[in-house]
Structure 1
């Protein structure tokens, strides 16, 4: 574990740069293919078409890196059977705590962008159009993406609140580490928005969420409770809807 901690401090941006680079590359390729095929001109493109592969690449990179230092992912996350009940309870608490600043950031950014008429723009900003894909492609990708998305929570907690925050804290201090990982977490989530204006709003929302999560992880000194909180969010807003789209469309 000491060698892994040293690696984090030597290259704190290693994992996050890989994640962001792979995400931008695959999003650009997906957008180009859809536009060339006349299926969609929307940017960002529909994330379920490329984001599963982002998690697959990042998962492989993390597994290989941890294996190199003889550290298991489970150990790094801090999961222990005797503490699982408490971790679930903490995760449920952090779910509500972390969404308070996210909701404030959402409402504030919507108001700054649209003023008092903001309520009429939510669907316009956040709704995602579906490209005209060949029959059967969207249901298959939805189901595939749902199962891959189950690993998203631990991967993102390792990348942002783990490797980046811990590594940068040892070099630049805790405050800078929490703010930087929150900023990059927000930038990543811009790609899930429905349009360019949504990208700005997503950035502020997930900056707030990321900073809150960073503070929580710093004080608890373990990733497990935040992973559980993150898992719950992903299952409710990601896995569940994708499975519904997949099975309804089959």
Structure 2
């Protein structure tokens, strides 16, 4: 009659077998270059790097567009303006969207899950988004007026006519090439800008920063970064401070909404609506100029 092996012997062999299997798998991954790991939460370091990369790309593209504006269009002044910024944002958004989606995939999270789309409640969240559109834009406009009034005082109305004129767009004129590029860029802007910015600043970025800095400081850092990004989209140097304050306020309130609701989708709807309403007139005018 065969003797049964002691339980501790079987446990040691099982543990040893698992270790061997793990080592073989590590060797296989090393040889194939597959170093994919599964994370359960957004990583603080990667979140910081993601936001830094976003801002860095915006700075680089803005610099290139500024050189183009000076050398080709013959226009001085920084930043290049909203028209050129929209064109430059397309490649920036594509790269950043790829990066943030890749980070979520490390966690086994799809874009739909990251955004927080709820089956059967999409209409409800769209309704929330319409509400947040109004809630977000009221303090946004108030911030613009307060900063403008603080700088220009009683001349605030005439200042609006000067600092928000996009000289690059005026210089581009009715050139068919400029119009076509503008149309493609604006459509691309509407299609992915809101999604990219929400995932970067208030999705992975905010969640990762929270793990290192705590909720309050993470909200402030994310919102200030959001405001800093937008100074490079200002139509003139004088408008940069206005953009910074207004978009930082927008970011702060958006972060609070996201934290309150626990999902991005309603704020994403509001953000996408802002982008659409801002870009639609430009696309319409450009198409009209192109076909007439």
Global fold match (TM > 0.5): yes
1:107 aligns with 2:145: yes
| C-alpha contact 1:160 1:181 (8 A) present in aligned 2 | yes
Classify 1:24/1:153 alpha carbon distance in 2 versus 1 (closer, same or farther; 3 Å). Answer: same
Where 1:192 maps in the other structure, the secondary structure is coil
Residue among 17, 28, 35 paired with 2:70 = 35
Where 2:39 maps in the other structure, the secondary structure is helix
Worse-matched range after superposition: 114-123 or 127-136:
127-136
Q: Which residue of 2 aligns with 1:243?
A: 283
In the TM superposition, 1:1-250 aligns within 5 A as: 3=39, 5-7=41-43, 9-45=44-80, 46-129=84-167, 130=169, 131-132=171-172, 135-149=175-189, 150-238=191-279, 240-250=280-290
Output one character per residue of 1:46-99: Cα deviation in whole Å (capped at 9) or x when no partner: 313312121122122223333344321111101123110110111011111111
Classify 1:219/1:89 alpha carbon distance in 2 versus 1 (closer, same or farther; 3 Å). Answer: same
| C-alpha contact 1:139 1:245 (8 A) present in aligned 2 | no
Q: Which runs of 5+ in 1 are unaligned?
A: none
TM-score (norm 2): 0.80
Output one character per residue of 1:98-133: Cα deviation in whole Å (capped at 9) or x when no partner: 112212211110011001221111121112112347
| C-alpha contact 2:183 2:287 (8 A) present in aligned 1 | yes
Looking at structure 2, the residues matched to 4 and 162 of structure 1 have their Cα atoms a distance apart, in angstroms, of 14
Where 1:3 maps in the other structure, the secondary structure is coil
Looking at structure 1, the residues matched to 159 and 206 of structure 2 have their Cα atoms a distance apart, in angstroms, of 35
Output one character per residue of 1:8-61: Cα deviation in whole Å (capped at 9) or x when no partner: x23321221111111110110111123122443232113133121211221222
Looking at structure 2, the residues matched to 34 and 209 of structure 1 have their Cα atoms a distance apart, in angstroms, of 29
| C-alpha contact 1:138 1:246 (8 A) present in aligned 2 | no
Cα distance, 1:228 vs structure 2 = 0.5
Output one character per residue of 1:160-210: Cα deviation in whole Å (capped at 9) or x when no partner: 111221111122111111111111111111112111110010000001100
TM-score (norm 1): 0.92
Runs of 4+ deviating beyond 6 Å: none
Count of residue correspondences: 248
Where 1:50 maps in the other structure, the secondary structure is helix
